Chains A and B, each alone.
Chain A
Amino acid sequence: MRYEAPDTIDQAVQMLAEADGLTRVLAGGTDVIVQLRSGMVEPDLMVDIKRIEAMHAITAEGGGFRVGAAVSGAQLGEHEGVKALWPGVVEAVELIGSTQVQGRATMAGNLCNASPAADSVPALVVAEAVASIVGPEGRRDVPVDEITTGPGKTTLAKGEIVESILLPARPANSGDAYLRFIPRTEMDIAVVGAGISLTLNDDGTCAAARVALGAVAEVVLLVEPAADALIGSRLDEAALDALAAAASAACRPIDDKRGTIEFRTKVAGVLARRAAVIAQTRARG
């Protein structure tokens, strides 16, 4: 196996594009090195992107923030601006692993690893985050919910690298939240995850909402009927019940060692409900 750590994204793209055999981008390595050591992947080339200076930056852009693909969870968690604008995204990224893992793991890596249970992805999806991708054919901007197509599968072409993720500006009176269910308190994989972002009208009714669920299907699900249950309401009991029911109805999970179909389906509704209330509280400021 060859290991490269270029200084520019163009070099990185070129190396990946020209390589024969299996390649992997190496960001924090908290997924890919684990996979390597357990014999799950045996790449011929690993391209480390951590030497690329620009990918470590978090920059303000158009009222939102652009987060470099090499920014660690710990670094993101210390950024006051992002925390204030997208607290749900930050809390989702901070749930990943432990203090040690946080020092390495990246949001982009979490996205590109394409696990249906990835914690930051439902939060990114409801935030309408956009991945900025650089490849042999140039640059393209893609909404995050179009990146993954199934467990371990992405729409990234050979040689393409996510350079950054844009968390957009948002209207006043907006809030987001992410909750996941794990049997323990940390160091675990989401059995169910629920991300919610919403904007309130001046009268407190819900003007806009997005609801996404993790670990209940082969990809993160954006659940429009669940969002519709909130829009126009004040998140009263009836609206929250409708949200939970719509969230549960959208689930198509599997029975596995981490949870039963029955359990995941019910808990998806429970978490959506709880996350909605947190997002509402944040939106009220």
Chain B
Amino acid sequence: MLDKPKDAVLDREFKVVGSRPVRPDGVDKVTGRAKFGADVSAPGMLIGKVLRSPHPHARIHSIDIHAALAVPGVKAIVTRDDFAENKKHKDVLCNIMARDKALYEGHAVAAIAATTGAIARKALKLIKIDYDILPHVTDVDEAMADDAPILHDTMITRGVDPAPEKPSNVAQRFDFGHGDVEDGFAKADVIIERSFKTEAAHQGYIEPHACLASVTEDGHGELWCCTQGHYAVRDVCASLLGMEVSKLRVTASEIGGGFGGKTTVFLEPLALMMSRKTGRPIKMVMDRDEVFRASGPTASTSSWVKVGATKDGKITAASAEFRYQGGAFKGSPVQFGAMCAFACYALENVKTVGFDVVTNRPKQAAYRAPGAPMAAFAVESVIEELAIKLGIDPVEFRLKNAAAEGDTSSYGPKFPRIGLVETLEAAKAHEHYSAPLGPNQGRGIGSGYWFNFGGATSVSLNVHPDGTVALVVGTPDIGGSRASMNLMAAEELGIPYDKVNTIVADTASLGFNETSHGSRVTFASGLATIEAARNAKNECCARAAMIWEIEPDAVTWEDGCAKPAGANAGNFEPMTLADIAKIAEKTGGPISGHFEKNPAGAGASFATHMVDVEVDPDTGRVEILRFTVIQDAGKAIHPSYVEGQFQGGAVQGVGWALNEEYIYGADGKMQNPGFLDYRIPVCSDLPMIDTVIVEVPNPGHPYGVRGVGETGIVPPMAAIANAISAAAGVRMTELPMSPPKVLKAIDDANGSA
């Protein structure tokens, strides 16, 4: 036995896990040496640019590329004709290059590779496209109306019995819940029912999408790109190009932010196709404008929530309907929204319905806890209002109804060990909760939930002859995960943090890894790292046993050394990892450990946020005065990066709550595709975001880790809405709660204009 049993997680004393060393990728990033998507070039490289539809909805009759192709310096043009039909990735294919119709403003219709960007840009203007402009729809409620323009005449709503006969913009209906909500509402003393809307927000990563692709005459491809999941990029691109997977090697660059938005392909298949056509490397980089118009923001939503409770604060029933538009293709995260909506509560009677809707907007991509924040905005607003109406402290009200181990979740499964109650208790005990407030100031609370995922994972760990360790993972580091991997490997092997060097391998060098999403990396690659290290330790013990000429199970690993397991095993000097590694060649060859699996047992993470705002009653401007994030991390491997995730989620939530939004004109075109008018918070907009790490270990991970990357964006919008309500006496039900909207609500409430 090498280790204590897993259920001893709570008692475990960690040596390096839980410390805060500098991240290994930090120096390169602050000195500018780190290579991001656009930072590589190749000899003979061409520059690729994309022509995008100016219309939100139009049939494409013909594409004439002759004039553009004749421009000196233009080497290749690709259009829909270059890509064969693809059943498996039908929507992805249609999204990266429009087929019979352009489905949103910004939809790619052609791409050009030329010797310079200027030539490519000039040639784009010479491509002649004959469009037949169609009526469009960008609002989710309008898209569901009977007379709405239909995007796909083959879209028959799934999940409805009997199946509708006519096509619509509703791709699917989802239902979750248990009990009888009507019965439950009948038992309620107080019921609150409200409707909400949220606008689409973009992940706002600073680094635009970029790639460098090269396909040789004999059909081998290499691709360098900024992505959260290079294996997924490989599989999709290989399929779209009709390549064998083994012939395409994808390397993930350093990433300048993803937040879920870099989990799909946009430019990559176009660059590969143009490289195949020209035999030359193709580099493509999006402009910010393209990032906004044509990558994947999150869904905009419309929802209705009804919750009832008894006078003593017990929720008797909760019901909600969510309508999410995910752009021009099915797959909005409404299912997750409907599942997470009431996950914080132990409910006898609960029902949620979700509608996945298509509109003439770019295809949504994941954004931190996809779907959950919009649902939480609606639900947590109603929960707070209900608590206030009942005269019960909002944290107390949540505690009275909080989900805990053994409760049936609102979407079905029973919860294992979870930490919501602990976050609420920590909120109640926090000094922030009772700090005094001034005039026009108010405090709001919000709780939130996200599942977290496991997923396919491969890790390989190589022990070098000098006793240092190379850890090879396949999950791009999007939040400091190399530091956490180093810590877990060091902990398990009993060596210092800086003796481990983690790299993210390319797709040809390591087995499959699912994308870095679902807050899965520290959990799944972490688990795999620990298992790979255990694997290597076993081998080290076997080598020591061989040297000492005792049985392998008579050797144990302790404090970074192989030791005889007990007095009976014999009396030998402990051997360090370095001692064993130095002579590995003579004891059987290189020592390594590896692990491949789909680890189940990802632990859900709950959070409770507390925020103070001041509302300017004359301008409607909201200032965030104080913000405290309390979240269950299971076990914080590197507390600074856990805090960073908490803070980042809160900040993106502040942006979504107050100012970020996709603004569409009546013409169906986005009006603010830049950081000037798409307003993410700037530093001076924010106070220091305080954090409290709660640690309720996840039984599914050897160190108790839960993913922490996503839950942090779930509660802020409701918490801020609740704070605005407390400060200004107005209940805001639409995001963003921008100054014109807040001022109007205040003026309407005062009966003046």
> Real complex partners, A and B?
yes
**Other-chain residue from A184, A188, A259 in contact with B740 (beta carbon distance below 8 A):** A259
In the complex formed, the residue of B with least CB distance to A98 is B682
The total of chain B residues at the interface (CB under 8 A) is: 24
B677 and A187 contact, CB distance less than 8 A: no
Q: Is the CB of A3 closer than 8 A to any CB of chain B?
A: no
A266 and B743 contact, CB distance less than 8 A: yes
- Where chain A touches its partner, the secondary structure class is loop
B684 and A181 contact, CB distance less than 8 A: no
Q: Is the CB of B671 closer than 8 A to any CB of chain A?
A: yes
Set of chain B residues within 8 Å of A267, measured between Cβ atoms: 618-619, 743
In the complex formed, the residue of B with least CB distance to A264 is B740
- Find residues 48-105 in chain A having any chain B CB closer than 8 Å to their own CB: none
Interface string of B730-753 (1 = CB under 8 A from A): 000000001110011001000001
Nearest CB on B from A211, distance (A): 18
A181 and B682 contact, CB distance less than 8 A: no
B621 and A183 contact, CB distance less than 8 A: yes
In the complex formed, the residue of B with least CB distance to A259 is B740
Q: Is the CB of B659 closer than 8 A to any CB of chain A?
A: yes
Set of chain B residues within 8 Å of A266, measured between Cβ atoms: 618, 743, 747, 753
Q: Give the CA-CA distance A230 to B481 in the complex, in Å.
A: 62
Q: Give the CA-CA distance A217 to B620 in the complex, in Å.
A: 22
Q: Is the CB of A189 closer than 8 A to any CB of chain B?
A: yes
Set of chain B residues within 8 Å of A188, measured between Cβ atoms: 676, 679
Nearest CB on B from A168, distance (A): 32
B740 and A181 contact, CB distance less than 8 A: no
Q: Is the CB of A140 closer than 8 A to any CB of chain B?
A: no
A181 and B659 contact, CB distance less than 8 A: no
- Find residues 187-216 in chain B having any chain A CB closer than 8 Å to their own CB: none
B681 and A183 contact, CB distance less than 8 A: no
Q: Give the CA-CA distance A258 to B674 in the complex, in Å.
A: 13
Nearest CB on A from B22, distance (A): 27
Interface string of B645-676 (1 = CB under 8 A from A): 00000000000001100010000000110001
A184 and B679 contact, CB distance less than 8 A: yes
Set of chain B residues within 8 Å of A258, measured between Cβ atoms: 677
Q: Is the CB of A270 closer than 8 A to any CB of chain B?
A: yes
Q: Is the CB of B685 closer than 8 A to any CB of chain A?
A: yes
Q: Is the CB of A257 closer than 8 A to any CB of chain B?
A: yes
The interface centre, meaning the residue of B289, B681, B743 with most chain A CB atoms within 10 A of its CB, is: B743
B740 and A186 contact, CB distance less than 8 A: no
A270 and B676 contact, CB distance less than 8 A: no
Q: Is the CB of A11 closer than 8 A to any CB of chain B?
A: no
- Find residues 163-196 in chain A having any chain B CB closer than 8 Å to their own CB: 181, 183-189, 191
Interface string of B665-702 (1 = CB under 8 A from A): 00000011000110101101100000000000000000
In the complex formed, the residue of A with least CB distance to B675 is A187
Set of chain B residues within 8 Å of A270, measured between Cβ atoms: 618-619
Nearest CB on A from B688, distance (A): 15
Q: Is the CB of A31 closer than 8 A to any CB of chain B?
A: no
Q: Give the CA-CA distance A263 to B685 in the complex, in Å.
A: 21
In the complex formed, the residue of A with least CB distance to B752 is A266
Nearest CB on A from B72, distance (A): 20
Set of chain A residues within 8 Å of B740, measured between Cβ atoms: 259-260, 262-263
- Find residues 683-726 in chain B having any chain A CB closer than 8 Å to their own CB: 684-685
Nearest CB on B from A207, distance (A): 28
Nearest CB on A from B326, distance (A): 23
A186 and B743 contact, CB distance less than 8 A: no
Q: Give the CA-CA distance A262 to B679 in the complex, in Å.
A: 21
A262 and B659 contact, CB distance less than 8 A: no
B744 and A184 contact, CB distance less than 8 A: no
**Other-chain residue from B289, B681, B744 in contact with A262 (beta carbon distance below 8 A):** B744
Nearest CB on A from B284, distance (A): 18
A183 and B658 contact, CB distance less than 8 A: yes
A181 and B671 contact, CB distance less than 8 A: no
**Other-chain residue from B619, B663, B682 in contact with A184 (beta carbon distance below 8 A):** B682
In the complex formed, the residue of A with least CB distance to B665 is A257
Set of chain B residues within 8 Å of A256, measured between Cβ atoms: 671
In the complex formed, the residue of B with least CB distance to A261 is B740
In the complex formed, the residue of A with least CB distance to B747 is A266
B738 and A183 contact, CB distance less than 8 A: yes
Q: In the complex where A262-B753, A263-B740, A263-B743 touch, is A184 in contact with B677 (Cβ < 8 A)? A: no
A185 and B658 contact, CB distance less than 8 A: no
Nearest CB on B from A122, distance (A): 17
Nearest CB on B from A267, distance (A): 5
In the complex formed, the residue of A with least CB distance to B676 is A189
Q: Give the CA-CA distance A186 to B679 in the complex, in Å.
A: 11
Q: Give the CA-CA distance A270 to B682 in the complex, in Å.
A: 25
Set of chain A residues within 8 Å of B747, measured between Cβ atoms: 266
Set of chain B residues within 8 Å of A257, measured between Cβ atoms: 663, 671-672, 677
Q: Give the CA-CA distance A250 to B659 in the complex, in Å.
A: 28
Interface string of A1-44 (1 = CB under 8 A from B): 00000000000000000000000000000000000001000000
The interface centre, meaning the residue of A188, A189, A258 with most chain B CB atoms within 10 A of its CB, is: A258
The interface centre, meaning the residue of B658, B672, B679 with most chain A CB atoms within 10 A of its CB, is: B679
Q: In the complex where A257-B672, A262-B744, A266-B743 touch, is A185 in contact with B682 (Cβ < 8 A)? A: yes
- Find residues 31-72 in chain B having any chain A CB closer than 8 Å to their own CB: none
**Other-chain residue from A38, A187, A189, A263 in contact with B739 (beta carbon distance below 8 A):** A263
B684 and A183 contact, CB distance less than 8 A: no
5 A-B contact pairs sorted by A residue (CB < 8 Å): A183-B621, A256-B671, A260-B740, A262-B740, A267-B743
Q: A257-B663, A259-B739, A263-B740 are in contact. List 6 more A-B contacts (CB 8 A).
A: A186-B682, A256-B671, A262-B740, A262-B744, A266-B618, A266-B747
